[in-house]
Structure 1
């Protein structure tokens, strides 16, 4: 089935909505997430430590900041989803938002780490303003990458492969940060970590900006709903949510998975620095955590033989095993590395499939309601991810404060217990909860392939 697409670069052309996506486009799509993670990894992994140990903000205040900022950020996702569904340009619905948002996102991310000399209240105000702004602009750049996926092709396997390129690109961004950030901070700051973070963030943000432009220029949106590519009224778009049980399951799963993932990232630097007193292995462990790439790369091959749901559950179980190995390791660096590799490879499976599962719920919503609303569905489910990210960032520093944490000092036994709780045990519990969500909530009335076939038949009959 051909559908008419008017792209400002490619001109008016007929595209098959079920076609294979060209390799250059898949690579360019992945580079968008590389750019996102060059910035996002710094924020999620190092910002709490930057605020508490470098910029001098108290742990309890940082925890509250992290949660409030994410609660504000939860509002922008559904609004952005509505705006994407209402967008109707020659570039499509999602791509223009990458173009419009990438420059301000890069600028604000740099300013977030500028660290000006201010009073205590001034520092808090500065942190709130720029952290919230960075989160909102990150959503404006990254959410379109999510909403694009179900619009790039109707081919189920091609969507999985394209998402693998995206997740691989994101992991490469994270790998670059974890390999180079702390050495860059030390080199560029020459003893002044605040200055080092600022200069390093300039490098990462400008590099990300180039990658965002590559993504915009080299990707396409092909799939339209039965009604075409016209703007979707909010009331119509919400119909795609009603009765969409897989979407509800993905939202619950997103909360638990992101809380678990971000909590562990936020707590890692404290665990290595204070709990096992080996700060020199921070970059090594965070870099090795990028072995989740192995799980992500395996996804397109495994989905040919196993269901996406079973792969997600298996990956979470493997991740729990990795966490338990780290617990048994104590301060044994070799065992910590082994546990990190095992857990990260396992986490690569749900990480590589989460956004594919989200995209699948767009098809389910259209099949159930007759309305295709990728903006609302993908962005509204992003609210769950934002809530999880907020909790994952806030809980560790709240626990630190409750344990009497004092930056750059010998920590109390209670503070050390809180660090271990954040890095080891809460992620284990949340991993188990995520498995239960996938088993008991994420359910379909019929196989996804049958639903896609019915939708294609509807589009043919409509045309």
Structure 2
């Protein structure tokens, strides 16, 4: 019997994601703008940086869940230990992602190394953090509570970042007479919040996971091997479906964040509205995460995701039609973020359902490995984002700082709307027709798993 969720967990689980989302908000909102307009890398080098880092990061992320699942438990437990080990590495390397040291080539290499090392460390920490959800949860209600709180803190970070992010980077750059340094310091502050937040998660989950010493004394179960992970993945078709569908969500989020600055600089031609846009859309995402609990209870997680993905497509199409009307465009993008906020919470429930399916299918619990797959869609989207933005800007004749042309404005609008709308539509159809699990089936599978374990335990006792 699992320990019931404490009041602290019910209220404050997700505070670690606040710091993490501050970092990702800085990357999603400012990284491309930093490369092109602050560091002023040529577009060819920008494309190389985003493609190389995205590809390497995607490859590394594939193994993050396997590493957490297979590495022997460390001092503070199999999962919680990673929350202490990885964040300091992120803090020391993430700042170099927003730097320009030396020539364009040298600086690009440093940016790539900072990106790859920091992301490798935060992938492991993120896998451990999200693996806490099935570890802590006793039932579906617990999962929804934790994922909803996590989604709320994620999106609250976006609200906070919209206030302090871009303005702080600009102020620091002005005060220090170095625009690049302003962005470097902002990155460091966000990484520091990440470290503090994950330490808070580490402390509030104390007592919910066996420590290394306790595992040594009590462990007598079978170890999960690499072949078990591979078998689980290859036979777990619902997991493959949700990974592909979730790529649609992360692509929407990344393109919305990365291109917002370009929209207000080159289409609205009023960067003063950029922080307001970030604030309003982030508030909409917070509301989406909050109402996800009620939507999920009413419609179940699967159908809720189908409807929310469809909603994204509809509002993006409307946004493309009215992209030159800033208030209407901002409203449409706010509704998109409402849907994204809801999906951020509910897709985690679908991932956790595939844990049950995988164990039912193979007899092996590979929870950390499967929850580690959550980072894969964002890595795929990272590659697609870089290619889409760099290609769209190049095709539209983008030149940093130059006066916007009608062709450039249309190119930015198309990259902003058409690609994510297509991804969201495909995701909606994939979940509707391809994800065949529901709460009833998952409950039946879990009951069968429990019966198998009970039978196995009885046989073991009889042998002894």
TM-score, normalised via structure 1 length: 0.90
Q: Structure 2 matches for 1:227-238, cutoff 5 A? A: 231-238=223-230
Range that drifts further, 191-200 or 244-253: 191-200
Aligned to 1:196: 182
Aligned to 1:337: 330
- Aligned counterpart for 1:205 among listed residues 191, 204, 216: 191
- Is 1:141–2:125 an aligned residue pair? yes
- Is 1:263–2:292 an aligned residue pair? no
Cα distance change on mapping 1:228 and 1:186 into 2, 3 Å? farther
Task: Give the whole-Å Cα distance in 2 for the aligned partners of 1:110 and 1:135.
Answer: 12
- Aligned counterpart for 2:319 among listed residues 319, 322, 326: 326
Task: Give the whole-Å Cα distance in 2 for the aligned partners of 1:229 and 1:34.
Answer: 36
- Aligned counterpart for 2:279 among listed residues 284, 287, 295: 287
1:303 partner SS: helix
Aligned to 1:153: 137
Task: Give the whole-Å Cα distance in 1 for the aligned partners of 2:47 and 2:326.
Answer: 29
Deviation readout 1:392-415 (Å, 9 max, x if unpaired): 233112211222211111134333
Deviation readout 1:29-75 (Å, 9 max, x if unpaired): 30121111111110122101001100011223213321221211122
Q: How big is the shift at 1:367?
A: 1.1
Aligned residues of 1:250 and 1:442 also touching (Cα < 8 A): yes
2:324 partner SS: coil
Deviation readout 1:309-368 (Å, 9 max, x if unpaired): 111111112222322332333433321232122222122221221222112111110111
Q: Structure 2 matches for 1:18-167, cutoff 5 A? A: 20-86=4-70, 87-89=72-74, 91-116=76-101, 118-167=102-151
Task: Give the whole-Å Cα distance in 1 for the aligned partners of 2:104 and 2:254.
Answer: 26
Aligned residues of 1:57 and 1:123 also touching (Cα < 8 A): no
1:371 partner SS: coil
Task: Give the whole-Å Cα distance in 2 for the aligned partners of 1:162 and 1:389.
Answer: 26
Which is richer in helix? 2
Could you list the runs of 5+ residues in structure 2 that have no partner in the other structure?
Answer: 458-464
Aligned residues of 2:20 and 2:193 also touching (Cα < 8 A): no
Task: Give the whole-Å Cα distance in 1 for the aligned partners of 2:25 and 2:220.
Answer: 37
Cα distance change on mapping 1:322 and 1:307 into 2, 3 Å? same
Aligned residues of 1:114 and 1:198 also touching (Cα < 8 A): yes
Aligned residues of 1:324 and 1:424 also touching (Cα < 8 A): yes
Aligned residues of 2:68 and 2:127 also touching (Cα < 8 A): no
Aligned residues of 2:90 and 2:121 also touching (Cα < 8 A): yes
1:154 partner SS: coil
Task: Give the whole-Å Cα distance in 1 for the aligned partners of 2:350 and 2:77.
Answer: 22
How many residue pairs match? The answer is 444
Aligned residues of 1:63 and 1:395 also touching (Cα < 8 A): no
Q: Structure 2 matches for 1:380-399, cutoff 5 A? A: 380-399=373-392
Deviation readout 1:90-128 (Å, 9 max, x if unpaired): 533222112110001012112322433x11211221221
Task: Give the whole-Å Cα distance in 1 for the aligned partners of 2:29 and 2:36.
Answer: 13
TM-score, normalised via structure 2 length: 0.89
Task: Give the whole-Å Cα distance in 1 for the aligned partners of 2:404 and 2:327.
Answer: 24
Task: Give the whole-Å Cα distance in 2 for the aligned partners of 1:422 and 1:215.
Answer: 37
Cα distance change on mapping 1:229 and 1:347 into 2, 3 Å? farther
Cα distance change on mapping 1:46 and 1:230 into 2, 3 Å? farther
